[in-house]
Structures are given as C-alpha cells and as structure tokens.
Structure 1
Amino acid sequence: MKQQSTYFLNTAILIILASFSAIFGQELLGERLKVTVIHNGGQLVANRIQFRDNDKEPNKITINGCISDVAFRDRKLFIGPAAIVLSKETHFQDLQPEDLQPGKSISVRGIFENAGELFATSIEKESSEGAAIEIIGEVSQSQSLKNGDLQLVIMGMPITIPMAVYYRGTSLIRHPDDKRPEQQFTVPLFGKPLVIGGEIGSKSGFDGDFKLNRAEQDDKLDMENAIELEMFYRFSRNASLFLETKSNREWLLYEEGGESSVTSEVERGESWLLWGNIAGTPLSVQIGRQNFREDREWWWDRDLDAIRFYIATRKFYLEMGLAREIAPLAFNQRKIEPDKEKITRVISRMGLQFTRNHQFDLFFLAQHDYSDRPFIGNIIAAGREDDIDASMGWLGARFSGDLDFEIVGDAGYWVDIAGMGGQVRNYEFDDVEIEDEEQLVVAERGTANAVGWAMDLGMSWQTPLPLSPTFTASYAIGSGDDNPTDKWDRNFRQTGLHDNNNRYNGVDRFRYYGELFRPELSNISIFSFSAGFPMLKSSSLEFLYHRYVQVVASEELAGKIKADPNGIDRELGWELDAVFGIEEWKRLELEVLGAIYRSGAAFGANANKLAYHVTFKMDFNF
C-alpha cells in the first residue's frame, strides 16, 4: 500500500509539473514579442525575449538584422530565413534600393502574409551589432518541448526559446531606466558565460530659490559622476548570481552663502542568488540585496536586503518578501543609517491580467521598527538620531490597462487606491556638549495613532493628430488631519520606499507629481496635465503642468520646497516641467529637464514667488 501511495504521489507530481510547463507554453500564444535570435544554420535560437504591447493588426512585423541574400529579379531579400518582398509601395529611409546588399544592416517593417513572406512597407538603415536578428511580432503557435524549452512560431518561422532565456533571473537585472546593450561583454567561467556590464553616468543640477525668498541664500549647483559595475552568472538553467557595485563622486560646485565641497562613496548594489522555476514550476526564490519595484513606483522602488518568493506566469504574478537591512550601504560606513536600522518589512504584490489589455494588482506592506525607544533626557551620539519610528501597514489596489478608441487613438488608464494605519513615535533633540564632545539629548517624545487613505487616477490618450501627441490628465489626493489636537494622525503617508516616477508615452521616466516640488502624497491634492511628443527615432519631449492644494490647511509640508505654509490658506501653487529625452544611440542616453514653481497663498508673505530647477543627465551603458 505504501509503495502504491508513493507511486500515485510521484505520478501526481509529474502531472502537475507537466501541466505547469504546458501552461507556460500556451501563455505566450497570441502575445506580441521582441525576440533576439541567432540563426544557427536552419534553426533560429533566441537569446532574449521581451514583451510588447499587442498591435491592432497582429500581422504587422518588424525585423532588424543583416541582409543575408538578395534576389533582385524576384524583388526579394533575406534576413536569415525571413523572406522580404519589395514593392512600389515600399518606403526607403536613409538608403536607396541599390544599397540593399548582403551584409547591410537594415530595419524592415511590413505585413506578414500567409504565404510566408513579409511585404515591406518601409526599410531604413540600421546599425546592428553582431549576427543577431531582432523580430517583433505576434506568436501564432506555441508549444513546450520535452526538455523544457519552448518552440514559438512568429512570421511563419519556428523559434526555439531555451528555458534559460524565459527565466526570471534575466528580467530581474533589467530596470526600466537601464538601456543595456543586447550583447554585453562575456568571459567564460567554469564553462559558462560571466556577463559583465554596467553604466557610467553624469548628472548636473541647479536649484534656485527653494526657500521662496530672494533674500535667502539657497541657490546651489551640483554635479554627480557615477559608475555601476554589474556581473551576472548563471550556474545552471535555473540558478544565477548577480553582483553590483556603485561608485559615485559628488561635487557641490556652488552654494550661495556657502562653500563648495566634494564627497565620494563606494556602495554595494544588488547582490543576490536566484533559484528560478523550481522543479519546472512558476515558483522562484531570491535571496540577497534585491530591487523591489512596481511600474509606477507609487508603492516602492528600493534595493533591500531580503528573501523573496515569486509565482509568475504571463497572466498571474505573486511575490512575497521579508526584508531587513543587514549591513551598511557604503563600504566606509561602520553602522547602518539610523533611519534604516532594525526595520523589518513584509512586502507582497499580486497581479492578475484578467483580459488581454486590463490588469488588477493588490499591494501589501507591513513594517515594524525595532529600534531603541529613548526616553526624554537620554543622550544620543551625534549622527545616530532617528526622528521618527513607525510601525505601520499599507493595503491597496490598482486597476490599469489600455483602451482602443479605433480612429481617435488609444488610451492607457490607471486607478490606484491605498489605505494605511499604525503607530508613529516622534522625537525631538537638543544639542549638548559632554566632555568637549557634541552629542544630542532627547528633548521631546510623542506617540500618535496614524490612519489615512490616498487615491491616484489618470488616463493617457495617444492621438492620431499631427506630431502624434500624447495627452495625459491625472488627479491624486492623500488624506489630511482635520483634528490635530487628538491622538489620531489622519495624514496619509506613502511607504517611504516610493519614488513617484514613471513614463507616459515618451522615452524618459520622470517625477509625475513635479520634478521640483516632489511632494509626498500626504495632505495634498494634485491635478496634473501633460502633452508629450515623439521626436526623431527614439526621443521625446514632454510638457507637464501640476496644481497643488492642501486638503487641510497646515503648517507642515512634505516636499522639496523649503518654506513653511501659514496653516491658514490651502492653495500651494503650480509647477511647469519640460522633459527632453534623447535615446538615438544604442548605448548613450541624454536627458534635459527644466522646472519652474510658483507658490500659492498658503505661503503667506512668500506667495507668488518663483523657484527653479534644471537637470542634465548623461548615461553610457556597456
């Protein structure tokens, strides 16, 4: 009986694993992918896949690569096994038909016909690296192979997707702000490739009149140069290691009323081990310093020391992590920063794509601060003070998706809602000198029960108008405290892991509540409107307007403006931003950003004053 039970158990496990593999293969059917392949004789083998938004015309295809053969008599050319048909309607950009010679790199857009040929609508010159071919199209067939690999059919061509390619480890090292080359430097290590890459960046910024008073000397100009070095190594099909080190040097080039300065730091970045698709299932586990992020960064975008479990398919996603800082971030620090020390977090997210173009997400975060709770009169070492200890929980949901309005364009929408509650301990400190050494003494301490709610909703409309503008309108609100004298604090607080950073339809991500003001969504309502324009081949220009109003008039304000409101009026003012992103090259990214803010009546004597912000960024990826 025991042997029979074992037999049935093993059989059940095999059936479950086979089912997961089959589901995994079928999940890609009908999806639009960008697949980077190598043509090994008669076989196409993928080394990278990326998901793309589904097109209204599923037979639209883009293929990039080197011409392998030309048949002028038949008005055909070939990129690997892909046959491309030329016609009088084919539009040529930056080249002529006579330039179509074997070895020439081109990008072809066209319509795929059942005959197995791509009828080219446009051909342009392309600067590609190596022998790789990029194919962007819809999957017409999908099946799982016995060895765990997938075989897809795009444009009538069978493409083998090794299990190691459709693998969580690779996607985890790609951030939305990164533009790493398709082919990175590799060296062999124990018979497997060690991938080495990273980024060299430079950022300069000017802040002017953030105190909203010309008499105050607060203008500053700074510059930061940074380098990130990354190494990715796959031990086996499902196990991988990622290591990252960051080095940055900051110059305060000018500070009005102050002195220039230079600081340097070398920090540990992401450093994790991942065991993905355990036993052929969608379950993965990751341990080490890793990035927690979601698309809008409204909930979180932080590197944390953690262990995290995933269950991921194309339609369903679940993650749960336990995080706590275990070591200082910078190598020259002896202790963890006091506002990050002894905080334990449980972070969870569930996503469900309930139709092709619509998704529902649930978010949960619980944190408990186990740091010391000093009493009034206790002495604290200078630099080790922590003003706020919070043990809190957040729960919320997001609905998002795309709408097809046919001839008037497409639209994307989002609705975020969140609630939070917990307990907050606040401390105030006074300077004290003990034995000729500057220290701090706890002067005040208080505890409040915190509860609040927030909402953020918006829509982006991609229009068919001249210049192809995208218009976006949004409204966000975080609750305020209308009774500050009781023991309840009703100001909503974001998680502390948020960045409020996203892109609409351009190439650059930006702070969607304002690049200058950068308010936390606490006791504030924000109306925003933007107009974005695509430019050149891979660039964009975005103009944004934001209007800020306090929910409850208060003297406290969470943001980068250094002036205090009067606590009587609610109108905080408005901001205009312009973001110009240039990504015309495979490795180089440029961004120029300008912002101007005008204060409202809430700042009393400092109302109707202007503040300025300018940033220039340059990143080189390798």
Structure 2
Amino acid sequence: MKMNLAAASASLVTALLVVVGGAYAAEPEIDFNKPPTADHRISDRLLFGSDIVSSVEYMDNYDLDGKQDDHLLLVEPELRAVLSYTGDDGLRAFAELQLDGRAFLSKGGANDDKSEAHVRVEQAYVDLTQFAGDYSLRIGRQSFEDSRSWWYDEKIDAIRLLWQRDTWFASASAAREKAFADDFAHEDTDEKKEFYILTAGYYADKRDQATLFLIKKKDLDSRRHEDPLFVGIQRIGEMGSDLRYWLNAAAVRGESRRRRLRAYGVDTGMAWRLDAPWKPFVTAALAYGSGDDHLRDGVDGNFRQTDLQDNESRTFGITSFQYYGEVSDLELSNLWIAHLGFGIRPADDTSIELNLFRYRQVDADDDLFDTDLEIDPDGEHKALGHEIDFVLAHRPNKKTKVSLLLGAFLPGDAFPDNADPALLAKLKFGYRF
C-alpha cells in the first residue's frame, strides 16, 4: 500500500508540472528554503507553482580521524510543487508536495549510509482568514518560522489561532510533530512530540519586529522524560539601512530525566554594511547556552533549543547559511559560540562571504547535545575548536540561484592531538518553473 501511495503521489506531482500556463502573478525571487510561489494561474481561484532544487555534496572526516575513509559524495535532488486555492468568505487552502532523494556517487568503506527516496507532503492546510473579527485560523500541516530560525523553522501538524491589528499580533498554537504521515515511501518514526506555542509582539516589517515566545514541548517518548518550557524574546531591527542587529534570549524550565531544568540561552549580533565599492559588510555575533557542572544536585543547567530550530539566516548576502557553522552544525547547549563574518557584493546578483567561528564549552563535558560531528570531546578541555566557512552565491535572475559552500572544522584541545579537520563542500542549484 505504501508503494501505491508513493506512485500515486509521484504521478500527481508530475501531472501538476505540465499544467503550467495562463496569467502570472508578481514574480518573487527563488529561495532554497521556502516553497515555490504559486504564480501560475490555472483558474480564477486556483494557482500553481513548482521548482527544482538540487545539490552535490562532499563530506569527509566527520569523526576527525583521517585514517578512516568515511567520505561521502552524494547528490540530493528535490522537486517541489504547490497549489493554492482561494474561496469565498476568506477561505484559502494550500498544499506543498515534494519528491526528494539522496544518491551516493562515492563513499568510503567506513560509511554505511544508503541511498533513499521520499514522497512528502510538506504542507497541507486550510486558512479561515475571516474567522472572527481580527482573528484568523489555520488548520493542518503548516510552516512555523521566525526571522532567525532560532526558535523554530519547521513544518508540523497544528491548529493555530492568530490575532492581528495593524502591526500588533498574537497567536496560540497546538501542534504535534508527524501527527499524520508525511512520507508515503517510508514508515514514519515512532518518536513524536507535542508543542504548545504562544507568541505576541509587533511586526512593522521583516527588519523591525519584536516577539515574545512561550513554547511548551512534550516528548511522547516516555524514555526521554523531557518536558521543557521555553520563555523568551526575539528582537530584529536596523539603524538606517546599513546596520542590522538581532537578539534572541530564552529561559528554560521544566523537567528532564527527573531533574529540574534551569537553563538560559542568548544569541545576539549585528551586521554593518560599508558605503564603499562592492558593498563590503561585517558580521559579529556571540551566542551562549548555559552548561551544568553540578551533576548530582537534581538540577539540569544545560540549555537546549526547542528542537524546532534550524539556526539559519542571512545578513547582507543573497543566500542564508548555518550561523553556528555549516560543518559542525552545533546546537546551542553548554557552549560559547563567537562568529565573525566578512562579505562583499561585487554585483547586485552576487555575494561572497567568509565566516569564522570559535567554539568553547561552558563546562567541560564529554558529550555534545546535538551536532553533525561524529566524535565526543574528552570532557576535560573546554576548547572545541574553530570553523571556517566560505559561501559564494549567484542569482542571475529571479528564477535561478546557485551557491557554493566550502567549510572546515578545525578541532581544538577537547579532541585528540592527532585529530584531523572535518571537511564539507556543497554546490547547490535552484530553478523555478
């Protein structure tokens, strides 16, 4: 039955791709991380959009042991399609389907990763925009995303009530991760989580906003015994057009493995663009997630993020990047992360950036909360190391975008003296039909 559903879904997306024609809406710019815009008109009420995003990626030495051949060379294609329907009395329906996969062109003998393919329902929701006065209601699988992807950047099944008046807003949501199947080609994981989310604030535009967050997470996996409560704020702003800044701050309460949670996290920074040829810009940021050096006092002081975060954004470049490092991709827990970035815009359609990171544990620990690295620190030294990321992006027109990422994680004292760098290279291409 699973394969029949997969084949049917694949046929549906293929059919949608040939139903392109008619009038066009305003043409937005393609974004690797956002669904295609429904800008092809099928009828007065029904719009369609599609794009393809593909990447070729090389990874090596994520265990920091150069003697083990664990390299991966792979290609990851994504075909995405959306449908948007607008009805009477503020009714709107939206669906996003995605075919994606991973095929290995080469891999080391120490790596047992396998090729895979997926047929996904990324979003499927109904909007009642005239639910009651200033209130609207959205029901179904939908995207939760904040401006820095620090609190959340995820598509989950939810009921969300939104109030908005002028620039002020508030929302209340009840969500469950994978309440319904999202991949018709594979069985879903049994690990499910519930989230209860309250937000309030103001939104003048994407560079002038402030939001209060309250997020209750409940693990339905009884083995974890983790039910954190996150309370905090996000502020995004600018001074003039050449200085942008941000602040995220959160306190965590609740319980984790029968220990009380008492943790704190802060992420703040600014980006400054100079009035000079090639529009150079500098980014400076600092992030802190509390640690725990008293393991037997019944209190867990390790900060953790919501499990919905992506930690990806951009400043003055034309593509986003992992602002805690593309290679290590660390979660902010028991960490100091310093970030210094330099960039230029040699042309309006091109940006070049060099990002430098320094990682240090708050309390020496032999465990990293979540990371792409495949080795644990020694638990005696705090210096985890440094990372260097190079990002080149080019967008020749609004339909096409290409980026090149080169990254290296350089291990510090917390890893063996003979530890070797972890390496990443990724070429990404996107085209909107």
Distance in 2, Cα, partners of 1:604 & 1:228: 43
SS of 1:309's partner is: strand
- The structure showing larger relative contact order (alpha-carbon pairs under 8 Å, at least 6 residues apart) is 2
Structure 1 residue 402: deviation in Å? Answer: 0.9
Distance in 2, Cα, partners of 1:250 & 1:415: 36
Asked whether the 8 Å contact 1:293–1:300 carries over to 2, the reply is yes
State yes or no: 1:214 paired with 2:70: no
**Which one has the largest radius of gyration?**
1
Structure 1 residue 130: deviation in Å? Answer: 7.8
Match of 1:185 among 40, 49, 56: 40
Match of 1:368 among 218, 230, 236: 218
Identical amino acids, percent of aligned pairs: 27
Asked whether the 8 Å contact 2:391–2:404 carries over to 1, the reply is yes
Asked whether the 8 Å contact 1:458–1:473 carries over to 2, the reply is yes
Structure 1 residue 261: deviation in Å? Answer: 3.9
1:88-487 to 2 correspondences below 5 Å:
177-178=33-34, 180=36, 184-188=39-43, 192-236=44-88, 238-257=90-109, 258=111, 261-278=114-131, 281-324=133-176, 325-334=178-187, 336-340=188-192, 343-352=193-202, 358-371=208-221, 373=222, 388-404=224-240, 410-425=242-257, 447-487=258-298
Distance in 1, Cα, partners of 2:50 & 2:290: 41
Going from structure 1 to structure 2, the CA distance change for 1:302 and 1:357 (only over 3 Å counts) comes to: closer
Asked whether the 8 Å contact 2:267–2:287 carries over to 1, the reply is yes
Instruction: Give the aligned partner of residue 619 of structure 1.
Output: 430
Going from structure 1 to structure 2, the CA distance change for 1:476 and 1:228 (only over 3 Å counts) comes to: same
Asked whether the 8 Å contact 1:179–1:621 carries over to 2, the reply is no
Distance in 1, Cα, partners of 2:58 & 2:210: 40
Q: Which runs of 5+ in 2 are unaligned?
A: 1-21
String of CA shifts for 1:576-605, please: whole Å, max 9, x gaps.
111111111221111110101111001133
Distance in 2, Cα, partners of 1:462 & 1:501: 20
Asked whether the 8 Å contact 2:280–2:344 carries over to 1, the reply is yes
Going from structure 1 to structure 2, the CA distance change for 1:277 and 1:542 (only over 3 Å counts) comes to: farther
Q: Tell me how many residue pairs correspond in the alignment.
A: 408
Distance in 1, Cα, partners of 2:92 & 2:24: 26
Distance in 2, Cα, partners of 1:229 & 1:253: 27
Structure 1 residue 541: deviation in Å? Answer: 1.1
Structure 1 residue 270: deviation in Å? Answer: 0.3
- Note the aligned Cα RMSD (angstroms): 2.5
Structure 1 residue 332: deviation in Å? Answer: 3.3
SS of 2:42's partner is: strand
SS of 2:275's partner is: coil
Asked whether the 8 Å contact 1:354–1:360 carries over to 2, the reply is no
Distance in 2, Cα, partners of 1:355 & 1:180: 21
Going from structure 1 to structure 2, the CA distance change for 1:211 and 1:411 (only over 3 Å counts) comes to: same
1:574 partner letter: H
Going from structure 1 to structure 2, the CA distance change for 1:179 and 1:465 (only over 3 Å counts) comes to: farther
Distance in 2, Cα, partners of 1:295 & 1:354: 13
Structure 1 residue 175: deviation in Å? Answer: 7.1
SS of 1:482's partner is: coil
Structure 1 residue 356: deviation in Å? Answer: 11
Asked whether the 8 Å contact 2:117–2:185 carries over to 1, the reply is no
Distance in 1, Cα, partners of 2:165 & 2:31: 19
Structure 1 residue 329: deviation in Å? Answer: 1.8
Going from structure 1 to structure 2, the CA distance change for 1:541 and 1:314 (only over 3 Å counts) comes to: farther
State yes or no: 1:562 paired with 2:374: yes
Asked whether the 8 Å contact 2:135–2:164 carries over to 1, the reply is yes
2:75 partner letter: M
Structure 1 residue 133: deviation in Å? Answer: 8.6
1:423 partner letter: E
1:69-80 to 2 correspondences below 5 Å:
none
Match of 2:316 among 479, 493, 505: 505
String of CA shifts for 1:510-532, please: whole Å, max 9, x gaps.
10010001110000001101112
Distance in 2, Cα, partners of 1:175 & 1:339: 30
Distance in 1, Cα, partners of 2:194 & 2:224: 15
Going from structure 1 to structure 2, the CA distance change for 1:510 and 1:354 (only over 3 Å counts) comes to: closer
Asked whether the 8 Å contact 1:180–1:587 carries over to 2, the reply is no
Instruction: Give the aligned partner of residue 598 of structure 1.
Output: 410
Distance in 1, Cα, partners of 2:123 & 2:412: 42
1:523 partner letter: N
Distance in 2, Cα, partners of 1:617 & 1:356: 26
Asked whether the 8 Å contact 2:36–2:80 carries over to 1, the reply is no
Going from structure 1 to structure 2, the CA distance change for 1:317 and 1:499 (only over 3 Å counts) comes to: same
Going from structure 1 to structure 2, the CA distance change for 1:277 and 1:470 (only over 3 Å counts) comes to: farther
SS of 1:567's partner is: coil
SS of 1:388's partner is: coil
1:79-90 to 2 correspondences below 5 Å:
none
SS of 2:416's partner is: helix
String of CA shifts for 1:382-404, please: whole Å, max 9, x gaps.
xxxxx634211100012331113
SS of 2:417's partner is: helix
SS of 1:531's partner is: strand
1:419 partner letter: A
Distance in 2, Cα, partners of 1:233 & 1:185: 12
SS of 1:276's partner is: strand
Distance in 1, Cα, partners of 2:31 & 2:295: 41
Going from structure 1 to structure 2, the CA distance change for 1:569 and 1:132 (only over 3 Å counts) comes to: closer
